[in-house]
Chain A
């Protein structure tokens, strides 16, 4: 027996090690220092920046890590994974900033040590979710992310809504992860291994589709679909998003979704795609028809998300349904099963991160002022807080996908990928859904700018810190809408998979 490979592989997971160190340091700060609480956000940001440094350093590394001799690796370090990890870290930095801005937490709230520790645990889980190539590690990392997010969703202890969110999240999560585990066990029974490379090898020899593969993939998709909140597994999303503290809502809608998509891409690519890739078009193994499956799921997801969002009066809940709809668009891009499709997912995600976080940040700041997320309380806010009103308008227009915002570029690449493969009907459905989404996004703006309050309008002064964070999120949304080459180039350089282990 040789475990040298284990120690050698540690060099490939430097970002993960930094995050683990972050957990220890943050916990110790809260434990040993009297005034450690004030240092926590800054320490978190420091650790996240160090992680970002190591991720950037790792950008072009393509190595199998934790690879026993003569066997397949547990973790794949590749540029696709690094891209998604960078997204997660950026979202985490914003989460820390959001937590500093929000007033949802009590002054007496004394559990910030746990709060940041759980966030770091979640980041660690997401990192492994993004780069795991073994079903057991995938399952463990999903659980790691889930357990942290259950607690984080219920962090506003006195609030009934928050506790309800946490409990609902826990119950749905437990069921879907159990389902996923069952699927994994079926697949293990068929293949005799939990490693995706091994599974791929088995499938390419198997040839014809089989019922067991169908069911096991369906069951495993329950776990992944729950993380990305795609339709049959979306039930938790509105309740959890509404009840959880808003920074956590924003984080769940971006970071854990990004990790889920990275996992789905890797699961699909490593498990079910044959070796030959010509012109960026994947040759799927005939064991499972991913294309039809993903097309159906994506149509259901976006249509349901958009139609349900139409009736929402709570802005957070509306954004929850809109995030379901966005998962639908992303799944449509993935259903294409070409490199262009994955590129579209990556570009869309980078943009979705900015605009969704931005929209949630404005909701947080407005909640600080008016103590409500109900759409009727947004009446006339465009006049009392003109800057925030305009910024929210920008984010919502971008979420709709109208030019000249970045959301348009994201949608454009989804369409390009779809049209490349002649999937006109799906492209048309995505287009129609965007039109539907326009209604409910613009409705918020209507309340802000057209419905006037009877009382005299009072200008609420902007706070510099809040406004600058909004600006940091808002500026790229506008800039990438016009000058998007750097983003596309960045995505293009980091689309490489670790495909063959040897």
Chain B
């Protein structure tokens, strides 16, 4: 019989073996065509060296938001695990509904192209009517958008 710590050790062992095996298998299977960009330190698509004060793509925010949602998902699933045994089948249903909702949201993001780095078929904003500047003080020297 394993002690409690023994279980943790077994878990640790399996985790380590899993990582080693996957890395090894990947090495066997994948093609190796290194380029300069590929060999750079990974910095989420940005240049790793240079000033941090650069303009970066607004899409990072979308990705960050989606990441946040799934981060919170993990946090919310932990208490569910704690009562999972007592709640029986009903608890499973509740958790499944929660995960289903998240998956649906994810599918929606995917389908609508919000996960693409460049949105497919972007709809350029069209301006139907000239905006009557009332509250926003616009620069009078610039012509209205519809005349550009």
Contacts and interface: CB of A to CB of B under 8 A. Distances in A.
B93 to A, nearest CB: 10
Interface string B84-124: 00110011000000000100110110010000000000010
Given A1-B83, A3-B83, A158 B125 contact: yes
A30 B104 CA distance: 11
Contacts of B29: none
A7 interface: yes
B30 interface: no
A1 B134 contact: no
B116 to A, nearest CB: 15
Given A3-B86, A31-B107, A161 B129 contact: no
A140 to B, nearest CB: 13
B128 interface: yes
A160 B108 contact: no
Contact of B134 (A113, A314, A371): A314
A24 B101 contact: yes
Interface string A104-115: 001010100100
A157 interface: yes
Question: Interface size for chain A: under 10, 10 to 19, 20 to 34, or 35 or more residues?
Answer: 20 to 34
Contact of A161 (B101, B108, B126, B131): B131
A28 B79 CA distance: 28
A371 B127 CA distance: 13
Contacts of A239: 135
A112 to B, nearest CB: 12
B86 A1 contact: yes
A242 interface: yes
Given A3-B87, A314-B134, A158 B104 contact: no
B26 interface: no
21 contacts: A1-B86, A24-B104, A27-B104, A27-B105, A27-B108, A30-B108, A31-B104, A31-B107, A108-B123, A108-B126, A113-B108, A158-B125, A158-B126, A160-B131, A161-B136, A164-B136, A239-B135, A242-B134, A314-B134, A372-B132, A374-B134
Interface of B: 83, 86-87, 90-91, 101, 104-105, 107-108, 111, 123, 125-129, 131-132, 134-136
Interface of A: 1, 3, 7, 24, 27-28, 30-31, 106, 108, 110, 113, 157-161, 164, 239, 242, 314, 371-372, 374
Given A1-B86, A30-B108, A374-B132, 20 more contacts: A1-B83, A3-B83, A3-B86, A7-B90, A27-B104, A27-B108, A31-B107, A31-B108, A106-B126, A106-B128, A108-B126, A113-B108, A157-B125, A158-B125, A158-B127, A159-B131, A161-B135, A242-B135, A372-B132, A374-B134
